[in-house]
Structure 1
Amino acid sequence: METLGIQSKEGFGEYLGLQEDFGHSKKAIFVEVQDKIKTRIAGWAEQFLSQAGNEVFVKAVAMAMPNYAISCFKLPIGVCRDMEKAIRNYWWRGNKQKKSVHQMSWDRLMKQKRFGGLGFKDIQCFNLAFLAKIGWRLTQNPVSLLATVLRDKYFLGDSFMDAYKGRKTSWGWKGIFEAHKVLKQELGWRVGDKSSISIRDDPWFPKPPTFRVRPRVCLQGTKVCDLIDPVSNTWNADVIYEGFERDDVVPILSIPLSRIGCCDRLVWHYNVTRITRSNPGTGWWYAS
């Protein structure tokens, strides 16, 4: 400030709809987001929209308004429930003389349409999904500015997947770390140069839900590279048949191996961009 001659003051109010200064009450910080949703709903409640029009409004407007807040911070559960309550009351609203009746549970309406619901979002789960996306970016781009700052401050010398929550950390980091557990459950290894994948401990086996496999006790190898013929760069069928149960052999042999020496790397199990290269019946797909 002294060098550049820039005037400054304590705090700068709001930024993108959120208060700059986070106090002790996190619920009070996000109350403005709640109020905006309630104000918008109150205005639309006077409109005579069809049920289909109300569905579009709820999905495209009401549930999209807190997107910036939930993409950066973990909202308190009470805040998420208050938002959903306001949206529920709008959806099942009656008239001024008669109280609305909720004819179906909100949990059912949040299911996809093919499962009998309407596809409304669970705000709390959507919040965790946004934060897990940040964690995925930290994993995929560890040299980015955000990853560098967080690594130097919270998990020095370790990868994001090995980080700990720590004590007296920021609200933003605590939110990202909450999604860390969600992310960890859905990540798996794509077999590349086979040097870093543990047969018993890492999720590399192409079969949900755990994506892990338990070999027989007689298997001596500890890394996936021990299952591959180094000369032909193909799976060693004899070792696999001897070391694994019969039901686990075919999924392992169906995993394609790199011909150009790609490195092992983490992949997202359910990334839709990789469905075209999936192995039928395994629920697994691979990055090129």
Structure 2
Amino acid sequence: MTARNELPHFIVIGAAKAATTWIQTQLQSNPAIFMPDPEPHFFSREYHQGEAHYRAWFAGAPAGATILGEKSADYLSDPRVPSRIAGLVPNARLVVQLRNPIERAYSDYKMYFRRGLVDGTPEKYLSFPNNEYPRFLLDGLYGQHIRGWLDHFPREQILAFRFEDVKSDPRTIVEQVSRHIGVDPVFDHDLAKRRENDSKARILPLPVRNLLAPLKESAKPFRGRPWFENARSLLAREIVYPPLSDNLHSDLENFYREDIRQTEVLLGLDLSDWRAKREDGNKAEAA
């Protein structure tokens, strides 16, 4: 069988930490759609590899897959990406999944915390962008990012929806995305119940993970086997994250409020609940 030599018909461009893996998994359950499992990051990190490198991501698509796509959640916030995509696949349908930027920032921080990449409280990284990980704050400036995309793509080529809508009405979201990319929808009820939330997962303590890192590839064939998972469960622990304080949450509300208004205008979404001040003392829970 001859390998496919096509480019994608659609791209899920972000946002990072907005559960974009959920919509990818739903779309992959449709036999008419092919998406590679890993994120290619071609237009952001791997652009120097050239077009042939990108096409290779889709070479293994089965003959029955009529719609090709990919997901790279860092595309939305990278200012280099819109012009690059417009230059190579100008007609690609774009899909944007947005999450309350405060929850998104805290979720991003927690991912780095469990990986051992940050060692301070959220205040150290979320009070201002002038730190070693400005992405925590700046990636949530959706209005700023979307303006860059609209310089290269017509508004009707971009479908945007909210993380909250995935939770409240997943079937409708799958149908909307499917229509946007030009395929009959397939909705998987079992997949809809599974939402990525690795911040609550029980994982090995960081020193143990570092110690076992050289054996990671060797251990892959044993994952899922009862004896392996039982042994892992003896050491795995749920991570306790430094909380997002009420004061910091209030500062973040002010930081994002005007950008949220701009996002509403640009995308026609009702984000008023994102702009509302939090009145209770609940801490932001984020995947």
Question: How high is the TM-score relative to the length of structure 1?
Answer: 0.24
Higher Cα radius of gyration: 1
Question: How high is the TM-score relative to the length of structure 2?
Answer: 0.24
